[in-house]
Amino acid sequence: MAIAFPAPRVDVLAKRDRVIAALKAIVPGEGVITEEKERRAFETDALTSYRRLPMVVVLPETTEQVAAILAFCHAEGVPVVARGAGTSLCGGSIPQEDAVVLGVAKMNRVLDVNFADRTMRVEAGITNLAISGEVAHAGFFYAPDPSSQLACTIAGNVAMNSGGAHCLKYGVTANNILGLKLVTVEGEIVEIGGGALDSPGYDLIGLLVGSEGQLGVVTEVTVRILRQAEGARPVLFGFREIAQAGQTVSDIIGAGIIPVAIEYMDREAIHICEAFAKAGYPLDVEAMLIIEVEGSDAEMEAMLVRIVDIARRHDVAVVKESKSAMETAAIWKGRKSAFGATGRVADYICMDGTIPTGRLPDVLEGIDRIVKGYGLRVANVFHAGDGNLHPLVMFNVNDPAEQVKAEHAGEDILRLCVQLGGCLTGEHGVGIEKRDLMREQFTEVDLLQQTRIKTALDPKWILNPAKVFPLDAPRDEAPREAA
């Protein structure tokens, strides 16, 4: 087990009874979970190889309760780990033994839908898919679409700045949020932004989105909703050489075409997904692209003609244009089941680095070399339009030595991404998983600027401790406020 957890603080553990009593006074009824058996459900997230049993779990139902909980914990110096659905892949919502888990899942109401302004105000615990579900009848949707959208909450999306396959056109969470209701660690309720496109002062929404529960607890979110396109249709390409696929992507973008999605799968991923989903993927190619376009039938047709033409110029071996809703569903089912299908073949860790897309052949070659060097296998699934890679490094969980090797391979892959001009994480976040790699990407001074903001908004560092920043990250004293 490579990732260290700080030792729980004895003085905090000693307060357990007092903490429970205080939380029960704030959240009546079933909202405070103390039994070990029930707390177990909160000891990990989707980074399941790490787990810690939290001291207590509280599930508030109102912003005021959240404020009271934070005010109490802040005064007592008790760590608080905010939690949505616990689908974080980087251990972002794994607690410590001395922490209160504050779950927002019960706060899941839709507060307002405004079609004229194309906005919607929701509570933080609503799932990503439920937001779109609420407005689908009118032809609207909420754009960022992480593959976990059935389960993950908007709070988690905001904290992780989550994205999905369609981000190439619609942007990530940060580009689709207009307002937040934030509870500060001191228990103050702050309204930031709202129905207007711009909000005054510093861009606190921009700062809070992606801050991984480090700066406050979000209880309400105003999202932009968009009108669905008239139709969407994917085309699937198979290439005998990786470089041909890469060049096709470059040329499509160079021709001024921005599809809604460009997904890449390597040979290993194609085989794994085909065996599971029977999507009709070609098995004798090295690389596959799924490119989706949107619009009216005529628009899609016009766009696909251009795209297919470009692919042919790069000797595409297989071209499958979807002709029906069923074919479209099959093409996407294979891709969307990549994680699940891989899980049936082997245990794996899902990495999440990004690279400049021009370095695609280099990074794939490098990943192959790294993983083979550890005697392991890898399947690569990846958002080719924006350079976000998901290498799935496979190992056997019953072999602890192999698990350590897989973790090392994953770290080496992320180092390579940074060396190639990319970054450690494109959508899954840093959490505990990549915390100790932060120095690969940032200097001490870079980190210090970040920790200074952390200290300014959470002076005791009780919000989601031991995440994002290396445990020995540089810290200034609490900055005094400008005169």
Partner 1 sequence: MTLHIPSSPAELAAVVAAARSTGTPLAVAGGGTRAGLGRPVQAAATISTERLSGITLYEPAELVIAAKAGTPLREVTEALAAKGQRLPFEPMDHRRLYGTSGEPTVGGVASANVSGPARINLGAARDSMIGLKFVNGLGQDVKSGGRVMKNVTGLDLVKALAGSFGTLAVFHEVCFKVLPKAEGERTLAMTGLSVPQAVAALSAALGSPFEPTGAAHWPASGGETARTLIRIEGFAAPLAYRTDALSKLLAPFGAVETLEADASAGLWADIRDAAAFAGTDAAVWRISVPPSAAPALADRLAPLEPRLMLDWGGGLVWAGVAATGDAGAGRVHAAAKAAGGYATLVRAPETVRGAVDVFSPAAGPLMAIQRKMKASFDPDGVLNPGRMYPGV
Stretch that binds ligand FAD, among 35-43, 71-79, 88-96, 279-287 (CB under 6 A): 88-96
Which three-class secondary structure state does DSSP give residue 395? strand
Instruction: Retrieve residue 411's tokens.
Output: 């770290």
Cα–Cα distance, 342 to 340 (Å, whole number): 5
The DSSP code sequence of 217-240 is EEEEEEEE-EEPPS-EEEEEEEES
Strand pairing class (140-141; 110-114) = unpaired
Kindly write out the interface string for residues 304-343 of this chain, putting x where it contacts ligand FAD by CB under 6 A and - elsewhere. -----------------------------------x----
Question: What are 379's strand-pairing partners?
Answer: 392
CB nearer ligand FAD, residue 132 or residue 157? 157
From 437, 465, 440, select the one nearest 451 (Cα to Cα): 465
Residue with smaller CB distance to ligand FAD, 12 or 126: 126
Q: How far is CA 347 from the centre of its chain?
A: 20
CB of 255 to partner 1, least distance (A): 8
Work out how close the CB of 212 gets to ligand FAD at its nearest, in angstroms, rounded to a whole number: 4
Among 68, 78, 100, 160, binds ligand FAD (CB under 6 A): 160
Q: 190: helix, coil or strand? A: strand
Window of 18-26, 140-148, 310-318, 405-413 that interacts with ligand FAD by CB under 6 A = 140-148
Coil, helix or strand at residue 341: helix
CA triple 427-428-434, angle to 5 deg: 120
CA dihedral for 249, 250, 253, 256, sign (positive or negative) = negative
339 binds, among partner 1, ligand FAD, none (CB under 5 to 8 A by kind): ligand FAD
Q: How far is the CB of 16 from ligand FAD (least distance, A)?
A: 21
CB under 5 to 8 A by kind: which of ligand FAD, partner 1, none does 464 bind? ligand FAD
Residue 147 binding ligand FAD, by CB under 6 A: yes
163 binds ligand FAD (CB under 6 A): yes
CB of 267 to partner 1, least distance (A): 24
Contact status, residue 62 vs residue 110, Cβ threshold 8 Å: no
Q: 3-state SS of the chain: helix, strand, coil percent to 5? A: 40, 20, 40
Q: How far is the CB of 41 from partner 1 (least distance, A)?
A: 26
User: Of the candidates 172, 49, 90, which has an alpha carbon nearest to the alpha carbon of residue 353?
Assistant: 90
**Region 98-117 residues binding ligand FAD, contact defined as CB under 6 A:** 104
Residues between 19 and 48 that touch ligand FAD (CB under 6 A)? 45-46
Token pair listed for 316: 């595409």
- Residue 189 partner contact from partner 1, ligand FAD, none using kind-dependent CB cut-offs of 5 to 8 Å: partner 1
Beta carbon of residue 118, minimum distance to partner 1 (angstroms, whole number):
6
Long-range contacts of 200-204 (CB under 8 A, 24+ apart): 204/180
Tokens of 52: 């810690």
CB of 315 to ligand FAD, least distance (A): 31
- Which residue, 83 or 320, is less far from ligand FAD as judged by CB? 83
- By the criterion CB under 6 A, which residues form the site for ligand FAD? 45-46, 81-89, 92-93, 104, 124, 146-148, 152-153, 155-157, 159-160, 162-164, 212-213, 217-218, 339, 427-429, 464
